[in-house]
Chains A and B, each alone.
Chain A
Amino acid sequence: MTLAAETPTTAFASNLRARRTKNNIATVVMTGCFLVALVPLIWLLWTVISRGWRVMVHADWFSQDQRLTQDWRTPGGGALHAIIGTLEQVLVCSLISVPVGVLAAVYLVEYGTGKLRSAVTFMVDILTGVPSIVAALFIYLIFIIEFGAGFAGIYVSLALVLLMIPVIVRTTEEMLKLVPNELREASYALGVPKWKTIAKIVLPTAFSGILTGIVLGVARVAGETAPALILVQYSASRNSNLLHGNQASLPLFIYSQFPNYANVGSKENAFTHVKEVTNNYAAGRMWAAALTLILLIALLNLVARLISRRSKVSN
């Protein structure tokens, strides 16, 4: 634009006009694309929020389970059983994945050389591409078929570990690479051994970045449905025992309400034709559970953002 202030020749002026036109077209196209990309997002959020918030804001939603309200014609109940399950399964998954993932990344960045390093990198690459259903089938084959174990929430956690480790290795690796070499060299110059340099200098410097990666990993697995469908059976009651029995989780809760989603309410009983008003409450519960899951993951992402804002090293 500043060019226009200089004395333009006629050729230059026409050139400028053409460039302005191109610029305008590009702006319109890009803004249009942005708006188009926004449509599904807003549409989705609007659908979930408008259908789910009424059920979710009820006080019982976070304090009750569904043991007395399983029937699609019965209103009320809450999602506590599913929230407990999701938190437990994700927590145990994180307890396993985080040490393994972070230490693997430390190995790749600080120690790894030669064939083993490229082998580990290759494996992590492959693991990143494993679909959740495949991870679930793998755990099903090993534990439930081979070892003959019953369904339990812990197997969901194990399948989620397979999905979470590559995310953590990847992000931690990137964060460790961002730690300036000068810091390491300064530490070595003072005679600090390598392990202590890593533990006291490198990891603390990259700490907030690593934590962001962990939270993103948690957000990635919290909504995974395939492992829950295959490795555990739904329970409408609270079960905080991860090792035994049916256990709900938010994705499974949504799925349990889905078969009744399209059921039709009526003014008379469909079978006896006795006057009896029925409404479909399963649909509201399904959307409310979906909204709860979205909010939970959004909350985790928000936490990750807040932590990364305080990051010391940044790209």
Chain B
Amino acid sequence: MGRIRLISLATLVVAGSVALAACSSSGGSKSSDSSTPAGTTSSSSSSSSSAPATTVSCPSGGTLNADGSSAQANAMTTFITAYQKACAGVTVNYTSTNSGQGVSDFTAGKIGFGGSDSALNPAKGEPAAATKACGSTALDIPMVTGPIAIAYNLAGVSNLTLNPTVLTQIFLGKITKWNDPAIAKINSGVTLPSTAISVFFRSDPSGTSKNFETYLQANDPTDFTYTPDKPWPGKTGSGENGSAKIASSLKSTPGGIGYVEWSYAGNNSLSVAKIDNGAGAVELTPATVGAFVSSAAVVGTGDDLSLKLDYAAKTPGAYPIDLVTYEIVCSKYKDAATGALVKSFLTFTSSAAQQATLPSQGYAPLPASVLTKVQAVVAKIS
């Protein structure tokens, strides 16, 4: 009996010591991490490794947690990897959820900053609630601009053009077949199948939805009668949770159409429609996005940098369905260490070198005029 007990005890001890060893190794992770940066990275390219070296002022250590908008999640992954490469002792976590959760978790004081595709909404008292949680003014800081791709799955059709009216009618269920005359009229020369249209929308409170709705309403107020908000108002089609699910659903559904941040469409090799806002069909490219976003104007007051995009503009060569995704931060953090982390990380992401990595991932950098203001505001965070 003694022997059995001994063996069983030994098992437990071994299991325990494994866990302990794991703990102690994480304590010393600072040195081991910096000594083996991407130890196994082979020669094949990665977007993150192409980032030019940026001089960063690293905090001595700590962990910064953030969550929110899935539209900016792919950019965040790259920013974080590059930042953690530069600052070995610091950890940044960004959990991809949705803009609604980014705002609510920030207001609840659970996270260092929240990612949201729309600025805090005064009509819902969001700035006041966030300011109360901060103990100082809460700010919207634009960081990444992301085109919203109208992605579709239609075998044999790779060159589809849509306009705001047709888009509204498709997404609200007034057009139900791909060979509808309204679609055929703006796609002469394209053979459209009679497949039924399956609409996919975001089921969670999404900033992508809100921006897309704002675009539809700005261009076709007669068909789109809803007030733009984070939940999608339409009744047609199926709702999916998060950008990644929209992309995977589109990929597996012939006849499907949905709106999703471009990086998800590109990573999944989905077809993306051209948009005709009245000045000719415009393909979605980094250049056409840049052409549109350069007109963004700051409408926030003081250090708040919420932007306004002119969705109804009929600029030739500008892709009109874009969103600006914000980081919601406190101007002065109750916990100075968190403030230092947020400041250091956002200084890094708003540097010209990091912004320059965005086009290769399906985003666009902030226009230079806005970027200068962002850098000035980030420098004031404490």
**Chain A: residues with CB nearer than 8 A to chain B?**
58, 60, 64-65, 67-77, 80, 83-84, 87-88, 91, 148, 150-151, 204, 207-208, 211, 233-240, 245-246, 259-260, 262-264, 266, 269-272, 274, 276-279, 303, 307, 310, 312
Give the 9 A-B CB pairs with smallest separation, nearest first: A76-B40, A259-B244, A270-B266, A238-B26, A237-B91, A84-B22, A74-B46, A240-B23, A263-B267
- Selected from B44, B81, B110, B361, the residue in CB contact (under 8 A) with A279 is B44
- The answer, yes or no, to whether B80 is at the interface (CB within 8 Å) is yes
Stretch of B31-39, B188-196, B214-222 that contacts chain A: B31-39
In the bound assembly, the distance between CA atoms of A96 and B32 in angstroms comes to 33
Q: Which residues of A have CB within 8 Å of B23?
A: 84, 88, 240
Cβ contact within 8 Å between A233 and B26: no
Within 8 A of A (CB), among B54-82: 63, 65, 67, 77-78, 80-81
Cβ contact within 8 Å between B95 and A246: yes
Cβ contact within 8 Å between B65 and A87: no
- The answer, yes or no, to whether B227 is at the interface (CB within 8 Å) is no
Cβ contact within 8 Å between A58 and B40: yes
**Chain B: residues with CB nearer than 8 A to chain A?**
1, 4-5, 7-8, 11, 15-16, 18-19, 22-23, 25-27, 29, 33, 36-42, 44-49, 63, 65, 67, 77-78, 80-81, 84-85, 91, 93, 95-96, 108, 110, 242, 244-245, 248, 251, 262-263, 266-269, 285-286, 359-362
Q: Which residue of A lies closest to B267 (CB)?
A: A263
Q: Which residues of A have CB within 8 Å of B78?
A: 71
Q: Which residue of A lies closest to B110 (CB)?
A: A150
Q: Which residues of A have CB within 8 Å of B39?
A: 60, 64, 76
7 pairs, CB–CB < 8 Å, chain A vs chain B: A71-B48, A91-B19, A236-B93, A237-B63, A240-B27, A262-B251, A270-B269
In the bound assembly, the distance between CA atoms of A80 and B91 in angstroms comes to 15
Cβ contact within 8 Å between A235 and B93: yes
Q: Which residue of B lies closest to A84 (CB)?
A: B22
Nearest CB of B to A282, in Å: 10
- Selected from A67, A211, A259, the residue in CB contact (under 8 A) with B33 is A67
Q: Which residue of A lies closest to B243 (CB)?
A: A259
Nearest CB of A to B243, in Å: 8
Cβ contact within 8 Å between A264 and B45: no
Q: Which residues of B have CB within 8 Å of A274?
A: 360
In the bound assembly, the distance between CA atoms of A75 and B38 in angstroms comes to 8
In the bound assembly, the distance between CA atoms of A246 and B94 in angstroms comes to 10
